[in-house]
């Protein structure tokens, strides 16, 4: 099947303008678990094992195969189905949680042979295979529990849950292991082994992982290594000694350790007070196109949360045991400036789409952002590429959705490769919803069975520009009489991009005032460089204050209506807003911001054209010492600006505060044009002269010093210049004991 394609290079590299969000989990038509993650320059990859074989009343795991997914945009995922099946490969028992890496176009997977039979190792030229044994020296395994391996399990209690990490220089490391830790120290339940240059055998024995500063939670399983800015991170699932398992992590300057425990990346998955997990925890981490993502498993489908369809178990029975029928989800996470990781927030929406979907290609049928009323069939043959087909339950509501689709000037046709064992089967192409505007209908040819495929083409109309939600709706009088192998569109190519623009059409003048709610209008096209905001969830929590209508419809930015006008609230770490500004002349300016506090944790910073112009600025607590979003304080900072048009970004670095506006006055330490009473830079009232006690804490929460000062500015200066600070490296928190005001201060030795 050949599709017409005419995509300009300008369209390929330009910015992305659709703010749609994906839905977790990535697949709602079968049960998946134990994900691993990897990425190259083009795609983000996920592998999982499967709980599909487990019966409804299962009281244990039945896991035999690995599945694979990939995405360019972090919303639309291609499901390749079973890429490796222990039931069809000789010498292997069950396959449980596995690890994946990609390097120079070759894919590598390490997998456990059942519940302790050793670690296998396979490679392939593509994510969908064909996969072959990658272990050299005539061996069948890297690590032997029972079987023909290079080294044994090295005394690790549980010889499973392997992870694979390939460093920047191409050196490959494999980690594995786990155990309750009752019979040996809980700081070395895992091993790491370095592979030789050919990546087919270990160099020497494994090295037990040492983690210092480990808290009471014991290391259990799911070891994983990743790298960020020359720091190595060893993460793992904790045990059940203190409640539900978490994913904790440790850091090191050396991939082999020793590692120092830093905290928790993922709690037991839960949202809004409801658990979407149930027992164990597993994860995979990879960086992709400037973002960091963690994949994990939960029980969303089996628990029916967020309106999800509870699909039956493998034996056809409804309401399967949720503990053994898991789902795979993904969310973005963020790092602090010192390299530590902010705890990830679980969402229904999943990551934001980072690129428009190009419809002018041939896609495996199970390429979608959401699905309903479908099933799938994998046809795995050892030595061949994986084949996965879509099976609609066409007598019910049955569809797949594709998000953020860029049709350019216009699509002219739809092409599908499908088998049909009945007359009257068809696919409707709709926009907006499964019952939305009809763009075309494809009547499928009756091929006599579900294994004989034929190509069908049909005309479409009205598909142009960027379609936020495209639905392929399956219709027929009988379930499971269709098998869809692939689909795609014919047409003219991508939409020319448009950059972000000032709200109201005119750049904000500096000196002058910028209303926080009037951030730039986002652009349209491909890429993330024309976005004008980042919001961590799609719900506008301030809409209720405006009669249920969002002030900036479709953005999800939380804008509240108050007596004095609109403000941006519900601010959470990592969110940001951008404003096109026009600076009258180069020189010194004083920035003022009107803010209200929901506690002592709020803070923000400002940057111009991606270069910071302020440090983190803490938001002062209300004078009552309680949360008060109606009491606004002023904070100020001296900044240097260059003349001309720029992009000003406000980045939230600490949760829960409101911001009304930002204002710039010409000159250093200038008077606030609205009010001479301000808090300068580190948020100290200019009229505050009484001595206060200040406590200093490191980021682990340990108090490292106490002293008195008249204000936060003086306390900051005393700490930075004092001898005590020389014993503490990195970021510290200085807290005013009387007011609760907190400031973050970086010290270096």
Q: Read off the pLDDT of residues 659-709 as tens digits, 9 standing for 90 and up.
A: 999 999 999 999 999 864 444 333 333 333 345 677 787 765 667 787 777
242 and 309 fall within a common domain: yes
Say whether pTM exceeds 0.95: no
Q: Read off the pLDDT of residues 547-567 as tens digits, 9 standing for 90 and up.
A: 889 999 888 899 999 888 999
150-164, 245-259, 421-435 — which is least confidently predicted?
A: 150-164
pLDDT category of residue 67 using cuts at 50, 70 and 90 = very high
- 326 versus 306: the higher-pLDDT residue is 326
Boundary (domain end) residue, out of 665, 685, 705 = 685
pLDDT category of residue 525 using cuts at 50, 70 and 90 = low
507 and 467 fall within a common domain: no
Boundary (domain end) residue, out of 685, 701, 735 = 685
Is residue 406 included in any domain, yes or no?
Answer: yes
CA–CA separation, 28 and 329 (whole Å): 10
Specify the CATH number for the domain of residue 566: 2.60.120.260
Is residue 131 included in any domain, yes or no?
Answer: yes
Is residue 11 included in any domain, yes or no?
Answer: no
Burial class (CB in 10 A: 0-12, 13-18, 19+), 546: middle
676 and 696 fall within a common domain: no
Range of the domain at 696: 692-747
| pLDDT at residue 622, as a whole number | 73
Whether 739 shows a pLDDT value over 60: the answer reads no
Specify the CATH number for the domain of residue 128: 2.115.10.20
648 and 743 fall within a common domain: no
Q: Are the beta carbons of 589 and 573 closer than 8 angstroms? A: no
CA–CA separation, 211 and 257 (whole Å): 8
Task: Over range 427-456, report the average pLDDT.
Answer: 96
Q: Read off the pLDDT of residues 243-288 as tens digits, 9 standing for 90 and up.
A: 678 999 999 999 999 999 999 999 988 876 677 876 678 999 999 9
| pLDDT at residue 626, as a whole number | 56
Is residue 657 included in any domain, yes or no?
Answer: yes
Burial class (CB in 10 A: 0-12, 13-18, 19+), 243: exposed
Is residue 27 included in any domain, yes or no?
Answer: yes
Boundary (domain end) residue, out of 658, 685, 712 = 685
56 and 176 fall within a common domain: yes
| pLDDT at residue 116, as a whole number | 67
Q: Read off the pLDDT of residues 106-116 as tens digits, 9 standing for 90 and up.
A: 999 999 987 66
pLDDT category of residue 436 using cuts at 50, 70 and 90 = very high
Is residue 4 included in any domain, yes or no?
Answer: no
Name the token pair of 723.
Answer: 């001898």
| pLDDT at residue 333, as a whole number | 95
178 and 277 fall within a common domain: yes
CA–CA separation, 548 and 559 (whole Å): 11
pLDDT category of residue 736 using cuts at 50, 70 and 90 = low
Whether 337 shows a pLDDT value over 90: the answer reads no
142 and 260 fall within a common domain: yes
110 and 199 fall within a common domain: yes
Q: Read off the pLDDT of residues 219-235 as tens digits, 9 standing for 90 and up.
A: 889 999 999 999 999 99
Name the token pair of 7.
Answer: 């995509």
Buried b (16+ CB within 10 A) or exposed e, 492-517: bbbbebebbbbbeeebbebbebbbbb
* pLDDT cut 70: percent of the chain above it: 86
| pLDDT at residue 746, as a whole number | 66
pLDDT category of residue 620 using cuts at 50, 70 and 90 = confident
| pLDDT at residue 20, as a whole number | 40
Q: How many distinct structural domains can be found in the chain?
A: 4
704 and 680 fall within a common domain: no
| pLDDT at residue 430, as a whole number | 98
| pLDDT at residue 242, as a whole number | 62
Task: Over range 304-315, report the average pLDDT.
Answer: 88
139-143, 385-389, 664-668 — which is least confidently predicted?
A: 139-143
124 and 196 fall within a common domain: yes
pLDDT category of residue 641 using cuts at 50, 70 and 90 = very high
Q: Read off the pLDDT of residues 169-213 as tens digits, 9 standing for 90 and up.
A: 999 999 999 886 554 456 678 999 999 988 899 998 888 898 998
Mean pLDDT of the chain: 86
677 and 705 fall within a common domain: no
Q: Are the beta carbons of 251 and 262 closer than 8 angstroms? A: yes
145-154, 237-246, 704-713 — which is least confidently predicted?
A: 704-713
Is residue 343 included in any domain, yes or no?
Answer: no
- 492 versus 445: the higher-pLDDT residue is 445
* Count helices and strands in the chain by DSSP H and E runs: 3, 55
CA–CA separation, 607 and 627 (whole Å): 28
- The dihedral of CA 248, 251, 257, 258: what is its sign? negative
480 and 509 fall within a common domain: no
Name the token pair of 443.
Answer: 């009547």
Name the token pair of 380.
Answer: 């795995």
| pLDDT at residue 627, as a whole number | 58
Task: Over range 394-406, report the average pLDDT.
Answer: 95
Is residue 91 included in any domain, yes or no?
Answer: yes
């Amino acid at each position: 099947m050949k599709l017409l394609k005419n995509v300009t290079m300008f369209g390929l590299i330009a910015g992305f303008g659709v703010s749609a969000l994906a839905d977790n989990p990535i697949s709602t038509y079968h049960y998946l678990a134990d994900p691993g993650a990897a990425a190259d320059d083009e795609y983000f990859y996920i592998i999982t094992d499967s709980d599909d074989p487990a019966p409804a009343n299962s009281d244990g795991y039945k896991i035999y195969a690995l599945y694979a997914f990939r995405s360019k945009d972090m919303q639309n995922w291609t499901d390749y189905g079973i890429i490796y099946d222990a039931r069809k490969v000789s010498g292997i028992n069950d396959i449980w949680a596995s690890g994946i890496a990609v390097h120079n176009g070759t894919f590598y997977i390490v997998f456990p042979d059942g519940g302790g039979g050793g670690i296998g190792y396979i490679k392939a030229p593509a994510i969908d295979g064909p996969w072959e044994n990658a272990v050299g020296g005539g061996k069948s395994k890297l690590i032997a529990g029972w079987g023909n391996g290079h080294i044994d399990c090295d005394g690790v209690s549980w010889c499973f849950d392997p992870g694979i990490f390939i460093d920047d220089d191409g050196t490959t490391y494999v980690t594995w292991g786990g155990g309750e830790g009752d019979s040996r120290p809980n700081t070395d339940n895992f091993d790491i082994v370095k592979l030789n240059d050919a990546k087919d055998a270990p160099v020497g024995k494994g090295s037990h992982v040492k983690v210092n500063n480990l808290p009471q939670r014991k290391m259990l399983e799911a070891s994983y290594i990743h790298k960020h800015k020359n720091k190595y991170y060893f993460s793992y699932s904790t045990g059940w000694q203190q409640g539900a398992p978490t994913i904790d992590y440790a850091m090191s300057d050396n991939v082999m350790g020793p590692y120092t425990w830093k905290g928790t990346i993922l709690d037991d998955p839960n949202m809004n007070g409801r658990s979407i997990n149930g027992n164990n925890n597993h994860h995979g981490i990879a960086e992709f196109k400037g973002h960091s993502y963690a994949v994990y498993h939960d029980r969303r489908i089996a628990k029916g949360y967020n309106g999800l369809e509870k699909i039956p178990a493998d034996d056809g029975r409804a309401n399967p045991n949720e503990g053994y029928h898991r789902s795979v989800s993904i969310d973005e996470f963020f790092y602090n400036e010192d390299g530590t990781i902010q705890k990830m927030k679980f969402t229904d929406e999943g990551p934001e789409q980072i690129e428009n979907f190009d419809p002018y290609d041939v896609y495996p049928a199970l390429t979608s952002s959401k699905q309903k009323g479908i099933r799938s069939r994998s046809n795995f043959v050892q030595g061949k590429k994986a084949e996965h087909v879509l099976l609609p339950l066409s007598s019910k509501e049955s569809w797949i959705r594709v998000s953020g689709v860029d049709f350019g000037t216009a699509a002219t046709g739809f092409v599908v490769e499908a088998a049909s064992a009945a007359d009257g089967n068809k696919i409707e192409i709709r926009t907006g919803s499964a019952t939305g505007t009809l763009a075309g209908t494809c009547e499928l040819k009756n091929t006599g069975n579900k294994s004989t495929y034929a190509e069908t083409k049909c005309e479409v109309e009205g598909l142009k520009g960027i379609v936020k939600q495209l639905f392929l709706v399956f219709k027929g009088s009988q379930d499971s009489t269709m098998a869809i192998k692939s689909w795609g569109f014919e047409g003219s190519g991508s939409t020319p991009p448009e950059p972000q623009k000032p709200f109201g059409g005119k750049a904000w003048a500096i000196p002058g005032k910028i209303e926080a709610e009037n951030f730039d209008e986002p652009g349209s096209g491909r890429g993330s460089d024309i976005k004008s905001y980042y919001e961590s969830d799609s719900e506008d929590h301030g809409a209720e204050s405006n009669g249920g209508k969002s002030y900036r419809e479709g953005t999800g930015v939380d804008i509240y209506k108050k007596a004095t006008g609109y403000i941006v609230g519900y601010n959470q770490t990592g969110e940001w807003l951008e404003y096109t500004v026009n600076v009258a002349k180069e020189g010194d300016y004083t920035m003022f911001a009107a803010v209200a506090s929901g506690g002592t944790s709020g803070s923000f910073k400002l940057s111009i054209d991606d270069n910071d112009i302020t440090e983190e600025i803490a938001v002062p607590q209300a004078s009552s010492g309680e949360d008060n979003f109606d009491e606004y304080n002023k904070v100020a900072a001296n900044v240097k600006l260059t003349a001309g048009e720029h992009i000003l970004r406000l980045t939230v670095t600490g949760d829960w505060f409101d911001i009304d506006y930002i204002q710039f006055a010409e000159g250093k330490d200038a008077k606030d044009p609205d009010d001479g009473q301000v808090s300068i830079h580190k948020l100290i009232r200019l009229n505050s002269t009484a001595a206060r006690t200040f406590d200093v804490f490191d980021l682990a929460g340990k108090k490292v010093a106490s002293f008195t000062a008249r204000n936060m500015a003086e306390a900051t200066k005393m700490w930075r210049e004092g001898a005590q600070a020389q014993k503490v490296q990195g970021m510290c928190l200085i807290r005013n004991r009387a007011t609760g005001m907190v400031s973050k201060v970086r010290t270096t030795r």
